Amino acid sequence: MRYTLHFSNAKQYFVHLETPVDRQEQMLQLQAWVLALKDSLSKVLNETITEPRGFLILLNKEVTDDDLKTALEKTWAATAQRSVFSYKKWEFPFYKSAETSHDLEDYFKGDTQAIAAYWEAFLSHILKVQFYGFQPGFVYLQGLPSSLHLPRKEKPALEVPVGAVAVGERYVGIYPQNSPGGWQIIGLSPVSLFDRNRKPIFLLEPGDTIQWKEVDAHTYKKLKTKPRYIPNYQDEKIVL
């Protein structure tokens, strides 16, 4: 990956990628690179935060630009040689709840056929976890074709329920807690993306994929109330 180093202050650098990360293998490579960098800078590194255009490096001690550049080059060279990356392929239950279909009804002006077609198309797509942000546990899911993009609401809803599956332009999200939100709600998932009583507290990693499985109201409620619920997944590998 080609990148430039943006210096914010003595302990904060932004690694700016020439082209934003988009494909699953790029996401996995980026993750692997960041992990390798964490090892290599373990004595001075506070944390890293990834986004599509690159990642932020937060240090607890000042280092020279040259030392940082060397560490970045070495860890990228090692990552670029790797050909196998592992990820999790998740199956997330999806419930076409009547209580949460107002946004689709508004958007399609009550056309029930259009709504049914939207749901059918939406459920057939496998999405990829791109990055975390907005709230604890909130992930930006990528991979929705442009025909299914929905505009953000002009006025955010004051209360979006936990588990709401929502579309905002090109991204899909699942609300990890009740909160205000400006994306169009299209259904509910019983999966808690953040649960401080569960191990792991956060389920997803960038590069993981999510496939939807439609469930009825009864199953949704049963899974929703299951303590420390973890949905089905398979360990997968991608070979470059």
Partner 1 sequence: MKKSYCKVIESGFYTSIQDCGRPGWRSKGVPLSGPMDRASFNFANRIVGNVPALASLEITLSGPTLLFNDPVWVAASGAPLSLFHNDKEQPMGLPFLCDLGDLLRIGKIEKGARAYLSFLGGLQCRKYLGSASQFAPITPSGRLEKGDQLPFVSSLSFPDPLLAKNQEEADSLEERKFLRVRPGIDWDQCPLKLQSELKKTQFVIGSNNRMGYRLEGSVSALDFQPLSGVIPPGTIQLTTAGGLTVAMADGQVTGGYLRVLSLDQQEMNFLAQQTTGTPFKLHFVE
Binding region for partner 1 (CB under 8 A): 6, 8-9, 12, 14, 16, 20, 46-53, 55-56, 58, 131-140, 176-177, 194, 196, 201-202
To the nearest whole angstrom, how small is the minimum distance from the Cβ of residue 49 to partner 1? 5
* Smallest separation, CB 6 to partner 1 (Å): 6
The CA–CA distances, whole Å, from 25 to 79, 84, 85, 129 equal: 12, 10, 8, 12
Minimal distance, residue 107 CB to partner 1, in Å: 20
Contact 174, 163 (CB under 8 A): yes
Which is nearer to partner 1, 91 or 205 (by Cβ)? 205
Distance CA 218, CA 181 (A): 26
Q: Which of 204, 207, 205 is nearest to 192 (CA)?
A: 204
- Least distance from C-beta 220 to partner 1, angstroms? 21
- Tokens representing 19 are 């082209």
118/175 with CB nearer partner 1:
175
What is the helix (H) or strand (E) element at residue 33, kind and residue range? helix 24-40
- CA distances (Å), 166 to each of 116, 139, 156, 159, 189, in order? 16, 11, 12, 13, 10
Which residue lies nearer to partner 1 by CB, 112 or 178? Answer: 178
Nearer CB in complex with partner 1: 118/233:
233
Q: Which is nearer to partner 1, 85 or 118 (CB)?
A: 85
In this complex, which beta carbon is closest to partner 1, that of residue 24 or of residue 192?
192
Residue 10: CB minimum distance to partner 1, A: 9
| CA 105 – CA 110 distance, rounded (Å) | 5
- The span from the CA of 78 to the CA of 55, in Å, is 18
Closest approach, Cβ 8 to partner 1, in A, equals 6
C-alpha of 85 from chain center: 18
